[in-house]
Amino acid sequence: MATDEVKILGRWTSPFVMRSRVALNLKGVEYEFLEEVFGVKSDLLLKSNPVYKKMPVMIHNGKPICESMIIVEYIDEAWADGKPAILPDDPYDRAVARFWAVYIDDKFFPSMRATWSSQTEEAKAEAVSQAHTSLQFLEEAFKTCSKGKGFFGGDSIGSLDISLGCYLGWIRTTENITGVNLLTVEKTPLLAAWAERFCADEAVKEVMPEIDRLVEFAKMLQAKWKAPAN
């Protein structure tokens, strides 16, 4: 599909947007990244995703595809030839990967974000506890899904690696802001080693946000949330 036109709408700060970019890089697909301005939704975004009005959106030959993991699966199917599959071939393994991807977004991400966005120490402590619990579950999931290999997907990056791996920048940012260690060799040795492998992959390196920039952005959000309403 060398002649295909592919565009990604989103922001560099978004782990959800990063998922589609990593998947395209894994497949060797050229694409145009259209950066959305913070606090503003472009006309193209609103037109392409009129239901949720959210990023990311991938536009493939004029047709929009929405929701990050749906986009990842679409990429895997649309460019199936010549590159390793992103989703597992086995139906059961594929179902397990989808289960944990939902868990990451529904359980882990909200608790991680709440560790630095909570307005009280009590709420922060609860969020930290939930984040640690989630990572312990994911440590066990890695042990099962990887089958002793380097990634959730086995020998190469798969859909579950993308799902969790694109949060790694925000995990390190959270640790920087809060002083709380989330992903450590002591508590989650398998995930800690996996994180290094994921970030070192060529498909990931060029789109992984710089931690210093993410910290600056997160602190801006904190200040915005704490500012009195006009």
Domains: count for the chain: 2
Q: Is 208 left (phi over 0), alpha (psi -120 to 50) or beta?
A: beta
Residue-level pLDDT at 66: 98
Q: Same domain for 100 and 188?
A: yes
Look at residues 23, 52, 78 and tell me which one is the last residue of a structural domain.
78
Q: Same domain for 102 and 24?
A: no
Residue-level pLDDT at 224: 84
Q: CATH number of the domain that 134 lies in? A: 1.20.1050.10
Residue-by-residue DSSP string for 153-216: TBSS--HHHHHHHTTHHHHHHHHHHH----S-TTT-HHHHHHHHHHHHSHHHHTTSPPHHHHHH
Residue-level pLDDT at 230: 55
Residue-level pLDDT at 228: 66
Residue-level pLDDT at 1: 43
Q: Same domain for 99 and 207?
A: yes
Q: Same domain for 180 and 117?
A: yes
Each of the 230 residues of the chain gets a pLDDT tens digit; together they read 447 999 999 999 999 999 999 999 999 999 999 999 999 999 999 999 999 999 999 999 999 999 999 999 999 999 998 788 999 999 999 999 999 999 999 999 999 999 988 889 999 999 999 999 999 999 999 999 999 999 999 999 999 999 999 999 999 999 999 999 999 999 999 999 999 999 999 999 999 999 999 999 999 998 887 776 55
